[in-house]
Amino acid sequence: MSASGGAAPPDRLHDRPDERLYGRRSGHRLRARQRRLLEFTLPRLRLTPAHATAPEAAFARHPAALWLEIGFGAGEHARGFLAGHPDAALIACEVFRNGLCSLLGRLVAEGEEATGPLPGMLRLWDEDARRLLPLLPERCLDGVVLLFPDPWPKARHVRRRFVHPDNLGPLARAMMPGGEWRIASDDPVQQAWVAAVLRGDPRFSDSTPLAARPPDWPPTRYEAKALAAGRSPRYWSVRRTCAPVLD
Ligand SMILES: C[S@@+](CC[C@H](N)C(=O)[O-])C[C@H]1O[C@@H](n2cnc3c(N)ncnc32)[C@H](O)[C@@H]1O
């Protein structure tokens, strides 16, 4: 991503609309504070592809557990997770600049973007999470969090849904057997889709979704919007089984 707010660099995945999982990367022109966050703070937290091959070394301390959050939005869950799990490390992925700035802006005070202390157990991946998965070592993730992924309800956009058979192999490869995959969705089409995709895959346990968020899952902005609009989120806690990765 360009720190100056210019167009994103050419991106092979995004050249094929069917493979793009998200819409706009930037909602409006960047303000000065956002520019400083992207220019000075983001590089201090960024997980590089080189780090990704040995991610545990990227953190301030050796983590007791390594988790991955895909599409952190404004970062409420990421901050809550770190506060609740001081010995765990989190790689948090987001492609939307406003989301990145929302999280970064809550981590450092204004004027301290280049120098203010930052969480030692958080690293950010500011590209498509699907690019990260094949770089990670096998069986390195104790948990994965996917909260309110973009629903892509139209049939012609099915391949853009993150919970898709194409993505399950790379995810299964990077997860420990017994590791937990947390998924939430408020969209009825996506809810039925998640249930159907998981039911057919031996690499993940089939779980009945819950109607209420488990108390140890930090809430997010998107969930609050869904509840305020009268929608009914569902929450899955899925386990990686011992079944071989296959692909
Ligand atoms: C509907 S929002 C939900 C945000 C947040 N999880 C919440 O619950 O408030 C989905 C987010 O996922 C991000 N996203 C979608 N596909 C992604 C991908 N492949 N890699 C990283 N982020 C992605 C989008 O930019 C968007 O911010």
For the chain (247 residues), the mean pLDDT of every run of 10, in chain order, is 34 42 57 96 97 97 98 98 98 97 97 98 97 98 98 90 95 98 97 93 92 97 98 98 86
130 CB near ligand 1 (under 6 Å)? yes
Query: Does the annotation count 186 as an active-site position?
Result: no
Distance 94 CA to ligand 1 centre (A): 6
At residue 30, the pLDDT reads 73
Which residue among the candidates 15, 128, 142, 150 is catalytic per the annotation? 150
Give the CATH architecture of domain 12-239. Answer: 3-Layer(aba) Sandwich (3.40)
For the range 44-52, what are the long-range contacts, defined as Cβ-Cβ under 8 Å and sequence gap of 24 or more? 44/114, 44/118, 45/104, 45/107, 45/118, 45/122, 45/123, 45/124, 46/123, 46/124, 46/125, 46/126, 47/91, 47/123, 47/124, 47/125, 47/132, 49/135, 51/123, 52/125, 52/132, 52/135, 52/136
> Residue 220 is encoded by which pair of tokens?
């997010």
Distance 54 CA to ligand 1 centre (A): 24
At residue 246, the pLDDT reads 75
1 CB near ligand 1 (under 6 Å)? no
Distance 229 CA to ligand 1 centre (A): 19
128 CB near ligand 1 (under 6 Å)? yes
21 CB near ligand 1 (under 6 Å)? yes
129 CB near ligand 1 (under 6 Å)? yes
At residue 2, the pLDDT reads 33
**What amino acid occupies position 42?**
L
> Residue 200 is encoded by which pair of tokens?
């057919």
Distance 128 CA to ligand 1 centre (A): 10
At residue 26, the pLDDT reads 55
Q: Kindly state the helix (H) or strand (E) to which residue 83 belongs, with its residue range.
A: helix 76-84
Contact assessment for residue 67 and residue 174, using Cβ atoms and an 8 Å cutoff: no
Model pTM score: 0.90
Count of residues in the chain: 247
